Every structure is written in structure tokens, then in C-alpha cells.
């Protein structure tokens, strides 16, 4: 376990907050990020953490919803040979219920990626949290200049929090501070 601590980070103008390590920098300080996303990167490790607000996918059941989003992401990125490694059961998220409408969460793990889906049914929103952790950095990658190409050094060997723990921390501390973020239905 690393000694790295997280700090409270505001998302979407402070309407949401969560905790994750300070080593992750806000990408919107560097380039344009869509309004429905908050993107953070650790440029020294080529790791990223993305929070995305999506319209609720009524055609997707709660069971396996994170797996559905992970497979959709793999299709969009033409990820050849993609394999789902693990998926969780449904977990209720009572701290995220709105007007007594329950919220649930599921998680899925693929190679190099962790995905969580927080289903905020009371405001018809799927919150997708994606954490990327490279295994191998291609020498032709833009990030190879910054972090070097080849095998990535495991976080545990670097004394920092592994991405699986970063996403767990961000999920366990995820809080909606202003439900008006979700529009008139809130």
C-alpha cells in the first residue's frame, strides 16, 4: 500500500466532489475538454482518470452496466483482442439516491482499464468513471517522450497508489453537492 494520500477534488464546478491523489492534473488546464467530462492525468505515468456524465441508458440493465460501457469503449477505440477480466455485482449507493430513488453502482475491469458506472436514476444520469493504467507504452505514442516507451513501472514499485485503488477511492468518496447540475428534473 502506498503512502500517497488523496485530496478532495471539485468536479463540474463543484457540483460534484471526490477524492483522488494530487498527482493527477486537470486536463482542462491544457486543452479543451467536453462539458460532460472531467479528465485528469498523471503525465509522469501516462495514467488518466475520467468522470463522464451521460444520459441514462434505459436499454442497459443495472446488472453488468459497467461491462456494457467497457465493451462500448473498447468498440469505439477498436481495441483488438479486448477481454473483460472481472465485473462486480450491483452495489446500492444510498448516499447518491435522489428523491428516494435509489442509485446503484457496478464495476468492470479490462486490461489496462477500470470502469465504474454510477446509475443516478433519480436524475436519469449514468456517471461513468474510467481509470487507465498503461502496461506498455508504444515508442510511437505521444506520451513516450514524457514517460519513456516500454513496460510501465508498477505503481507499487514507485511508491504511489495503484489505479485500482485510485478508482476505489474516487468512488467511495463520490458526492453530489448540487443536484441542479442535472437540469430541471432535479
Does residue 186 surpass a pLDDT of 70?
no
Q: Report pTM.
A: 0.90
Q: Look at residue 172 in the predicted model and tell me its pLDDT.
A: 93
Choice between 111 and 26, residue whose per-residue pLDDT is larger: 26
Q: Look at residue 185 in the predicted model and tell me its pLDDT.
A: 56
| DSSP-derived secondary structure for 9-71 | EEEGGGTEEEEEETTSEEGGGTS---TTEEEEEETTTTEEEEEEEEE--TTS-STTHHHHHHH
Q: Rounded mean pLDDT of the chain?
A: 89
- Stretch 31-58: mean pLDDT, rounded? 94
Amino acid at each position: 500500500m502506498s503512502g500517497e494520500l488523496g485530496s478532495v477534488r471539485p468536479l463540474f464546478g463543484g457540483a460534484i466532489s471526490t477524492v483522488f491523489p494530487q498527482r493527477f492534473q486537470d486536463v482542462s488546464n491544457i486543452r479543451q475538454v467536453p462539458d460532460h467530462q472531467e479528465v485528469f492525468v498523471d503525465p509522469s505515468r501516462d495514467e488518466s482518470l475520467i468522470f463522464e456524465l451521460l444520459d441514462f441508458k434505459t436499454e442497459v440493465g443495472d446488472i453488468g452496466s459497467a461491462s456494457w460501457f467497457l465493451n462500448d469503449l473498447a468498440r469505439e477505440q477498436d481495441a483488438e483482442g479486448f477481454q473483460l477480466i472481472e465485473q462486480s455485482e450491483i452495489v446500492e449507493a444510498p448516499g447518491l439516491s435522489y428523491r428516494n430513488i435509489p442509485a446503484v453502482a457496478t464495476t468492470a475491469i479490462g486490461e489496462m482499464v477500470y470502469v465504474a458506472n454510477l446509475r443516478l436514476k433519480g436524475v436519469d444520469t449514468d456517471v461513468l468513471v474510467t481509470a487507465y493504467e498503461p502496461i506498455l507504452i508504444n515508442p510511437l505514442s505521444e506520451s513516450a517522450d514524457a514517460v519513456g516507451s516500454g513496460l510501465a513501472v508498477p505503481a507499487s514499485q514507485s511508491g504511489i497508489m495503484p489505479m485500482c485503488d485510485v478508482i476505489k477511492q474516487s468512488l467511495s468518496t463520490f458526492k453530489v453537492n448540487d443536484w441542479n447540475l442535472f437540469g430541471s428534473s432535479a
